[in-house]
Structures are given as C-alpha cells and as structure tokens.
Chains A and B, each alone.
Chain A
C-alpha cells in the first residue's frame, strides 16, 4: 500500500503531561505508592529522548488534573499513516481525554475518525490503543478487559488495507504489556507462559515472518522502536534497574541505539513506555 511502510518511521510524537492527580483514581492506583515528581521526571526523560536523541517533533498536551489518566495517551487513538481512529476506552470517564488529542491530530492534518456513537454498529465497542499492536504490515488487537471484539471490528473497518487479527491477551492486562515492536520485522515479547500463548496465536494468524526477541521480564516487553530521520534505529527500553535480565537481549539488537528510559512510576499503574506517546509519520507519502 501506499501507506504501507516498514514499521518505525515516525516524524512526530504526541505526549501528555503527568497531572497532579497522577496515581489517584487511576487504575490500580489505590493503595499504590506512586511518586508524582518521579513520574514527571521520567516523563521528562522520555520526551527529551524523543526530541533530542531520536529527533522527532514533539507535541506536548498539557496535563489536566481532572483527567488523572490522560497521560496514557496511547489508549485514546490508533494512528496508521495519516489516519487516526479515536478509540473508546473502557472507562467512561476516560473518554473525554480524547478531546485535546483529537484537536492536535487534526492540526497535524491527520484524518481523524471516530468510533461512532454508542448505538448502531459500534454499540458496546470498546477499544484502547494499548491493546493494538501495529506491525507495519498488519494489526493485532488484543481482546482484553479493555478491548472487545466490536472494538476490533471498528478498527478493521477503519484500516481496510490491513489484516486485523484478534488475539487473546494472556498474561497481561493489555496486549502491549506483553509485546511491542522492536524493529520493522521484530516483535519483542515476554517469555511468560501467557505471552507465549499470545505469540503462538499471532504466529498462526500472520502471513508474515517476524523475528522474535524474547525477554524474561514482562516489563521489558514494552519498548518503543523508532527509525529516526537519519535512518538510525532507536530503541527506548526500560532501564536495567527495572529489567536487569532483559538488557542482554536488547544488546543483541545490532546497530541499534539503545535508550534506556525509566518508566517505573507509570509501570506501577499498569502502563509502559509506549503508553506515554502517540507516534506519527508525517513524511510525505507520495
């Protein structure tokens, strides 16, 4: 397809600040000790890496206290090429998070599509971006607590060029908790039993071949791969503190520029590096 490119070529990233309410009201936040300042620092490191190391244009949407989970910006939109699908998160209160994101994406001249009303074809559909793994060639949608079959259908209707396969999410609460892209043809995936099950299903469903980079820790399975403007492969991955046993695996990626990026505070809330940003390719297609 015109818009089928090797995975990883991005030009822009959209992030959203960590609000004062971070960790409160948030999913899994109860009883968890989160460090707001640390979370904000970690976010700062991430954005710095994206902007200065990778060289992306960064758009930062200000934090809103009333939206304690709005920093999980990956959930609210699925972007492929110049089409963005605004999702419908499971939690009702999260759905207002999309407003600011929608605005930004429109300004970036993306075609912004909605999942539609709660009625009709998409009735009952829920979809969160962290359940969607786009490989550059196809979509895998994890059927999880947050994302259902209907939601996956809407996604399939939106991105018609691509095969959209559904896989069960085993061993994590969201698909991207157990796997992520580590290169144009590389999937990084946890070696937990649940993740293996999901991987088997993905392997069964795909027409393509992927290299599999298996990492012992779940938290290491979520990385951010970007092929920078200078044709350099960057991999943002959790730090050695967070996943000491997985670092050797990352080092097997030859010619990569590895960017250890801490994400421990977000991890406490079930999020991961990829949760924190939306990546966009605005390179002229034609």
Chain B
C-alpha cells in the first residue's frame, strides 16, 4: 500500500501529521485526528481542505481522500462544522474547549462580528481560561499582547480585557470556557455560514445557513429568514439556488425563491451546506439514500453523519474520566490566524465526489416540521453538456499503413459552464472576440497536433439552432432571427408550475451537475507505435492558452496531442453565445456554403426550437427530468447524425463573417457543432425580500437560464484505406468506469482482429462537471493527457466535445 503523509492544522494552530494509505477514506484520517485530540464528541467537527480555487471544501469522510482533494496537497484543517446552539449541552469540557478555539479564530478574523464590549468580555474569559487568575505581579499589561481578541485590537480593548480578567478571579478554565461560550452563542452570527449571492433582481445579498434555517442578509441587515420548517424544498441548478417555501396562512401557493450564486460550485456548496445543516440540526437521524426514484445524474449527496440528536445521545453514554488537556493555544492561534481559512464564504464547500447521479433524497423532518425531501435532479445537466470525443490512434506501423481506422469515437466531453456564458455576456465585444480567438486557437492547436503527416479530411459540421437568436434578444443584442417561442411560453409554463400543492410536499433538492464526457478511442496497432503522435502537442498548447479567458486554459494543450499537421481555425467553436449562434447556423449549411454563413444564419431558425420547449421548468421534479432527458437526447443524436464523415476540406475561417484565422491549408477536419436548445426558464417567485408580507404571489420571471449546447468533433482523417471499412473480428471488449471530483471516465476497450491485424480501440467518455470555476479545457486536456499516458503507443483519432452551457440572466 502506498502511504501518504497528511498534515492537519488543528484548532490550536499546531500541526498533526499522520500517514494514511493513499486510498484511505476521509474517515480514517478524521478518526486519527480525533483520537489524537482525545475527542469523542466529534460530530460537530470536520476536516477541510483547499481546492484548486482556494475554496475551502469539507472532506467527505465516507469517501476516499484522494478523490476529493485531487491535485491539492494532503493538507487539511480541523475545524467546527456544526456549531452547537447550546454548548452547555456538550458533554465534555474538551469539546467545549475546541469550540472555544474555533470561536476565538472566528472572532479574531472578523468572521464572527461582535461589539467592543463583547470582544472585551470574551477576551477576558480567554485569558482566564488560558492563564488562570490575574496576577498583578506577573501580568502586566503586555502579557496579553500575544493574544488576538479582535480583528482590530486596540490598546483600549486590551485594557478593558485586563480589567475584566481581574474580575474572573477563581474561575476554572472550564468555567471560563463555558462562560465564553454562553456569551458567544448569543451573537447573532454565531454558527451562521455565509455565502455570497444575488437575489432575483441581481442585488448582492448573503445567504446564511445556520441551525435554524436560512437567513438572507443585505449588507449587515437581515432581510429575510426561512426556518427549516418553512422550506419545502431546496435545490440548485447550475449556479442558481432555489428554495421552495411553504405557503403561509394567507397564501394559497407555494412560492419558490431563487438566488444566483457566483458559480455552479458555489450553488452546490450552499445547497450541500443546507442539506447537512438541515439533517444535522433538524432530523433525528439522517435519511438514507436508498430510494431511487429517478435515475438521475445529479448528486446523491446527503449528510450521512450523525445528527445532533444522535450525537447527543451518544455523548450521554460517554463514560470516561474527563481527559486532561492543555490549553496553550492562544499564542499559537494568534500567529496562525492569517493563514486561517475564511469560514465565511468558502467554508462549506462541497465535498468532492458529489457528482454522481443520485436518487432523490428525502429528508424527513421530525414530526412537527414539514417534511423536507431533498431530491437531486441530475437531469439538468443533461440539458447542458459538452461532449468531446477524441480518438487517439496509435499506429504502430507508421502512418502509411494504417489499416485500422483512425476514427475514434473518442471522447465525448460534456462540459457545462454554468456561469461562463453569463459572464461572457457582460463582456465587451472585445472580450468576446478575444475569448473566441483563444478558443479557436485551442482547437486549432489540437488539430495541428495530429500525428499524421498529411492532413486528412476534417469535416466540419455545425448546426446552429434558432434558439440562439432568442437568447440574443434577451440580452438586448440585435438578433436577426425572429424571437422564438421560448421566452414567452415560459411564463405560462411557470405559472402552471405553481400548483396548489399541499404542504407536506417533500423537499426536492435538485442537483445539477455539469458533465464532460470524453471518449477516447485508441487504436493500437500491434506492431509499432507511432512515434510522432503525442509529443509535439503539449508545447503548443500552452502558448495558446494564455489568451484564453477563464474557460480555456493551458489544458487545451493537451488537445495538441496530435501532431501538427492540420490546423483548423475554430472560430465556430466560440463559446460566446451571441457570436456562436450565428456561426453555428452557418455551419449547418453544407460545407461549401460555409463561407457564406452570415446569410445562412437567419434562415435556420426552424428545427431547433422544438427542442427548446421541453426544456426545463426547474422547479418541478417530475416534469423535470423527463424533459431534461429529452433535451439531451437531441444533442446526442445531433452529433452523430450531423457529422458526416466525408465533408471535405472546407475553410472554416470565415465564420461569423469575421475572418480571424484563416489557415491556408485545407485541412481535413470533421467538426460537428450542434447547438441545440437554448433553454430559457423562468420561475415564479415571491419577491425575496419581503415574501411574507406580500399576500399575493407575484409572478416574476426570475432567473432565466439559457442553456447552450455545442458539440464539436475533431476527427482525424482516415489515413488508411482499409481500416474502417472492413468488419473486424471482435476479440475482446471491456468497459471500465472511474470517477474523480469533477470527471467521470468511462473507458470502453475493444479489440478487433482485422485482416490479420489486431486493432485495439479505446473509447473514453469523460464527463466533466463544473462551472466556470473549473477549467473545462484543462480538465479535458488533463483527461486526454492521461489517456495518452496510459496508452503511449496509441494515438488520438477523434475528439468530440459536447458542451452544454447555461446562460442565465435576470430579466427585467
């Protein structure tokens, strides 16, 4: 077993180091830490780590550590995850002590705001606990300068602390801790986990998740509050987070309130934190995810630890003499504070690995409370996905002889950018162009990387959907196509959604995941590996990356894996919604028509629209899923159908009417871009702020989510005449699935015997889920790279990228 050294920062600032097996679950490490701390009431605590985006994520102890931290270091922080509303009910002093340490950090860092008086009082209890009675001889004023009591500690505060310290004479450390907690727990922000968000009108707010429910703040002001019993359902979809509210006495209908989070992961994080807090504080026992109502792609995440009720019960059985422990933390604490994670926003980030499809969760609340059912709906993702297929071909024998076909049905990469598109909308035209350029470079580099000495044919196929134009409208961008039905119809559908449902509806937590599917087909030829294939790619990639905006990064380099024989200008691939649409439309036109694209655009509107309609009403679970499925399906089909293998050398450059990169050579390429449905969704919302007071439900179009789907296929031309045509003899086939935090890889390996040659084809389907935080290109590149590493002697023959992106915007 491979062992790995983990470093855990404890609450007193010290480091705990331990070795774990590389495949160990979080549990193992967590228990090691608790044992080291001599902590029995451990359910209030957790381990966290920083992800690549420096966001703090809670380690899911039921899952493998490695999968969660991915490439991050094995560096963790031990901290309080659930703040007990009444610390006096904790059984052991050591637990209270650890909670004190956490709160001291929270206070000193400003995460837990308090007044001068409170800073002074809490500080004085800290001194009493750490130093014992004030000793006038020993304790001159500077004895406290090592302690950090407040974010901006003044002399005045220190004096006040000392003055109060003197008054605590005779108090034991445990009593001082208890007093500290009795005061700290009354602070209004005690145990509130804050997340930045925007309301349906785009106003900046904070969502605060706490033991009692969800609090909404604007600036420092509490503007709304949803106690758990008031909430029927919590869900998230892309970067939106929704709660469905039980109707009040005066109201007949449930209402749904939506919030916009900075990105998909943030939405998921807040959702997860809600699920966890609800379960921990409100339920007697965690709900088990056994019920699978839907086959979904969503997260099946549920809190599986003990609830507060359970942990209290367990604690009551603790039968040991109070453990001795040393309180020497404060000094170290003050030093370590800078590096302390900010609990504020990032605190509860989702644990890794929550990407799987999950059945709806039902959380049954206790008797009085309404039932809360948490269901995750995966489907959403479906709507948005990007598939890229990459085929890697390995020719053993050298280029000329390839008998096997290159074509790979390679990787389908579904990338969903939840926010990306949105952000792009805000960008200036220039940004958009830049972005496009970077993307096109990316693609080009990939193409160039192709190993084959001589360019094969690439067929570019882009299908645009009319939907795009709709989208444009919404943005206020001049659109050429008449407005599609999508938007308007939404309203009605929404209204329909508000059904007078009975209170006890389950809460459904929808999970929308983003997926990237990469299928990689590698053909290995038994004889000799093709030398050229992989090497060149990487270098090129990097260069291009720099230009790209958030979405594309160096990752793309990996695309390059193929030798640079072919270059494609990939303007069509642009991710910017507006531009793309046009491009895509054109693309659909027969290859020859490509250059004339601009005109083509307008014409296209017809077919796509239909697909859109089914698109999603986020709120309703039932309806939801089926629809989503529908959405996806079209895409999938589109890919296959649309990519005619034969289209020959076309010059893509002119797309959009802008000739950005024109590559002189006609490259053989097959590019399939299909932009299927843009889904606009609206929901009915009661205005967030004063939901309670409004007696009538106002139907508002809240978040409009545009989903954009694109499929791009890169395919190496078939080098060998023989390959594909001949049916081979299937020798073996196997499918392997693996998953990590944001990618799920399905590998399908087939070996066939053709004309005396055995051909191994590996198809990898990689689903990358995530939003703009995740660099999809990077993830893709990584996936491709890994594939190549795994099969060094194979080459990539085809990459299909299927991308689903959501554009969300608030409508006025």
A residues adjacent to B (C-beta < 8 A): 1-4, 81-83, 111, 138, 141, 149, 152-153, 156-157, 159-166, 168, 170, 197-198, 200-201, 203-207, 285-286
Q: B213: nearest residue on chain A (CB-CB)?
A: A207
A83 and B115 within 8 A (CB) = yes
Indicate whether A197 sits within 8 Å of B693 (C-beta atoms), given known contacts A161-B187, A164-B220. Answer: yes
User: Which residue in B116, B118, B164, B222 is a CB contact (below 8 Å) of A165?
Assistant: B222
User: Which residue in A4, A166, A200 is a CB contact (below 8 Å) of B223?
Assistant: A166
Chain B CB count within 10 A is highest, among A138, A149, A157, A160, for A160
A160 and B114 within 8 A (CB) = yes
B121 and A2 within 8 A (CB) = yes
User: Which residue in A153, A200, A286 is a CB contact (below 8 Å) of B167?
Assistant: A286
Chain A CB count within 10 A is highest, among B117, B121, B223, B225, for B117
A205 and B222 within 8 A (CB) = yes
Indicate whether A165 sits within 8 Å of B115 (C-beta atoms), given known contacts A1-B183, A197-B693. Answer: no
User: Which residue in A141, A156, A207 is a CB contact (below 8 Å) of B225?
Assistant: A207
Q: Chain B contacts of A82 at CB under 8 A?
A: 117
Interface membership of B224, Cβ < 8 A? yes
Which 10 pairs, one residue from A and one from B, show the smallest C-beta to C-beta distance?
A: A156-B220, A163-B188, A2-B121, A165-B222, A204-B692, A160-B113, A153-B219, A160-B115, A1-B186, A161-B115
Q: Chain A contacts of B692 at CB under 8 A?
A: 200-201, 203-204
Chain B CB count within 10 A is highest, among A82, A161, A168, for A161
Interface membership of B664, Cβ < 8 A? no
Indicate whether A2 sits within 8 Å of B220 (C-beta atoms), given known contacts A161-B188, A168-B690, A207-B212. Answer: no
Indicate whether A4 sits within 8 Å of B225 (C-beta atoms), given known contacts A156-B219, A170-B693, A286-B121. Answer: no
Docked Cα-Cα span, A159 to B118, in Å, equals 10
B221 and A111 within 8 A (CB) = no
Q: A207: nearest residue on chain B (CB-CB)?
A: B212
Docked Cα-Cα span, A159 to B117, in Å, equals 10
Q: Chain B contacts of A2 at CB under 8 A?
A: 117-118, 120-121, 183
B225 and A3 within 8 A (CB) = no
- Distance in angstroms from B504 CB to nearest chain A CB is 20
Docked Cα-Cα span, A163 to B221, in Å, equals 7
Interface size class for chain B?
20 to 34
B693 and A166 within 8 A (CB) = no
User: Which residue in B113, B120, B188 is a CB contact (below 8 Å) of A138?
Assistant: B188
User: Which residue in B120, B186, B690 is a CB contact (below 8 Å) of A4?
Assistant: B186
Binary contact track B156-198/A, C-beta < 8 Å → 1, others 0 = 0000000010010000000000000001001110000000000
B224 and A204 within 8 A (CB) = yes
Indicate whether A204 sits within 8 Å of B225 (C-beta atoms), given known contacts A2-B117, A161-B118, A170-B693. Answer: yes
- Distance in angstroms from B660 CB to nearest chain A CB is 46
Q: Chain B contacts of A153 at CB under 8 A?
A: 219-221
Docked Cα-Cα span, A286 to B248, in Å, equals 43
Docked Cα-Cα span, A286 to B690, in Å, equals 39
Docked Cα-Cα span, A163 to B222, in Å, equals 7
User: Which residue in B113, B116, B188, B222 is a CB contact (below 8 Å) of A166?
Assistant: B222
Docked Cα-Cα span, A157 to B220, in Å, equals 7
Binary contact track B521-552/A, C-beta < 8 Å → 1, others 0 = 00000000000000000000000000000000
- Beta-carbon contacts under 8 Å, B687-707 to A: 690-693
User: Which residue in B115, B188, B218 is a CB contact (below 8 Å) of A3?
Assistant: B115
- Distance in angstroms from B592 CB to nearest chain A CB is 61
The contact sample of 15 A-B pairs, CB cut-off 8 A, is: A1-B187, A2-B183, A3-B117, A4-B186, A81-B117, A138-B188, A149-B218, A161-B114, A161-B115, A161-B187, A165-B225, A198-B693, A201-B692, A205-B224, A207-B225
Indicate whether A168 sits within 8 Å of B186 (C-beta atoms), given known contacts A3-B117, A3-B118, A205-B222. Answer: no
Docked Cα-Cα span, A207 to B691, in Å, equals 17
Q: Chain A contacts of B219 at CB under 8 A?
A: 149, 153, 156
- Beta-carbon contacts under 8 Å, B666-700 to A: 690-693
Q: Chain A contacts of B164 at CB under 8 A?
A: 286
Indicate whether A166 sits within 8 Å of B221 (C-beta atoms), given known contacts A1-B183, A200-B692. Answer: yes
Indicate whether A161 sits within 8 Å of B186 (C-beta atoms), given known contacts A83-B117, A286-B164. Answer: yes
Q: Chain B contacts of A197 at CB under 8 A?
A: 693
Please name 11 further chain A to chain B contacts, defined as beta carbons within 8 Å, in addition to the given A164-B221, A165-B223, A204-B691, sorted by A numbering.
A1-B186, A83-B116, A149-B219, A153-B220, A156-B221, A159-B115, A161-B114, A164-B222, A166-B223, A198-B693, A201-B690
Q: A154: nearest residue on chain B (CB-CB)?
A: B220
Docked Cα-Cα span, A205 to B514, in Å, equals 35
Chain A CB count within 10 A is highest, among B164, B187, B691, for B187
Q: Chain A contacts of B220 at CB under 8 A?
A: 153, 156-157, 160, 164
Binary contact track B111-131/A, C-beta < 8 Å → 1, others 0 = 001111110110000000000
Q: Chain B contacts of A161 at CB under 8 A?
A: 114-115, 117-118, 186-188
Q: Chain B contacts of A163 at CB under 8 A?
A: 188, 222
Binary contact track B561-576/A, C-beta < 8 Å → 1, others 0 = 0000000000000000
- Distance in angstroms from B125 CB to nearest chain A CB is 10
- Distance in angstroms from A159 CB to nearest chain B CB is 7
Q: Chain A contacts of B120 at CB under 8 A?
A: 2
Q: Chain B contacts of A204 at CB under 8 A?
A: 224-225, 691-692
- Beta-carbon contacts under 8 Å, B193-233 to A: 212, 218-225
- Distance in angstroms from B306 CB to nearest chain A CB is 24
Docked Cα-Cα span, A138 to B225, in Å, equals 14
Q: Chain B contacts of A1 at CB under 8 A?
A: 114-115, 117-118, 121, 183, 186-187
- Distance in angstroms from A183 CB to nearest chain B CB is 19
Q: Chain B contacts of A166 at CB under 8 A?
A: 221-223
A152 and B187 within 8 A (CB) = no
Q: A200: nearest residue on chain B (CB-CB)?
A: B692
Q: B116: nearest residue on chain A (CB-CB)?
A: A111
Docked Cα-Cα span, A141 to B188, in Å, equals 16
Binary contact track B776-789/A, C-beta < 8 Å → 1, others 0 = 00000000000000
Docked Cα-Cα span, A166 to B216, in Å, equals 11
- Distance in angstroms from A162 CB to nearest chain B CB is 5
- Distance in angstroms from B581 CB to nearest chain A CB is 40
Docked Cα-Cα span, A83 to B117, in Å, equals 9
- Distance in angstroms from B166 CB to nearest chain A CB is 10
- Distance in angstroms from A117 CB to nearest chain B CB is 19
Q: Chain A contacts of B212 at CB under 8 A?
A: 207
Q: Chain A contacts of B114 at CB under 8 A?
A: 1, 160-161
Q: B124: nearest residue on chain A (CB-CB)?
A: A286
Q: B119: nearest residue on chain A (CB-CB)?
A: A160
Q: Chain B contacts of A285 at CB under 8 A?
A: 117
Docked Cα-Cα span, A280 to B26, in Å, equals 53
Q: Chain B contacts of A157 at CB under 8 A?
A: 220
Q: A165: nearest residue on chain B (CB-CB)?
A: B222
Q: Chain B contacts of A4 at CB under 8 A?
A: 183, 186
Docked Cα-Cα span, A82 to B691, in Å, equals 35
Indicate whether A200 sits within 8 Å of B693 (C-beta atoms), given known contacts A157-B220, A161-B187. Answer: yes
- Distance in angstroms from B167 CB to nearest chain A CB is 6
Q: Chain B contacts of A81 at CB under 8 A?
A: 115, 117
Docked Cα-Cα span, A141 to B222, in Å, equals 10
- Beta-carbon contacts under 8 Å, B747-793 to A: none
Docked Cα-Cα span, A159 to B114, in Å, equals 8
- Distance in angstroms from A214 CB to nearest chain B CB is 15
Q: B225: nearest residue on chain A (CB-CB)?
A: A205
Q: B113: nearest residue on chain A (CB-CB)?
A: A160
Docked Cα-Cα span, A15 to B212, in Å, equals 40
Docked Cα-Cα span, A81 to B116, in Å, equals 11
Q: A82: nearest residue on chain B (CB-CB)?
A: B117
Q: Chain B contacts of A111 at CB under 8 A?
A: 116
- Beta-carbon contacts under 8 Å, B562-605 to A: none
Chain B CB count within 10 A is highest, among A1, A82, A138, A207, for A1
Q: A81: nearest residue on chain B (CB-CB)?
A: B117
- Distance in angstroms from A212 CB to nearest chain B CB is 14
Q: Chain A contacts of B167 at CB under 8 A?
A: 286
Docked Cα-Cα span, A229 to B219, in Å, equals 38
Q: Chain A contacts of B113 at CB under 8 A?
A: 160
